[in-house]
Amino acid sequence: MKKLKIKVITNAKKNAVVEGEGTLKVYVNAPPVDGKANKVVAKVLAEHFKVRKSSVKIIRGEKSKEKIIEIDI
């Protein structure tokens, strides 16, 4: 189990994960409506860490740009 603090940037041109100062920035091309961005965040992080999408859980910040994520590695 690994906990990460991330910042989500929605409506980006493409999906990407950028490592910054103690925080991962996750760019997603989905709007922050009806949980669409959260689903894409899970997918992008799963691809980045080479794990299944079900291994990525949002612990805190479901409706915030700053989130705490738990990943089963």
Identify residue 8 by its one-letter amino acid code.
V
Percentage of the chain exceeding pLDDT 70: 100
CA distance 16 to 27: 5
CATH number, domain containing residue 37: 3.30.1200.10
* Domain extent for 22: 2-71
For residue 73, what pLDDT is reported? 81
- pLDDT (mean) for 3-23: 92
How many distinct structural domains can be found in the chain? 1
| pLDDT over 90 (residue 21) | no
CA distance 17 to 33: 20
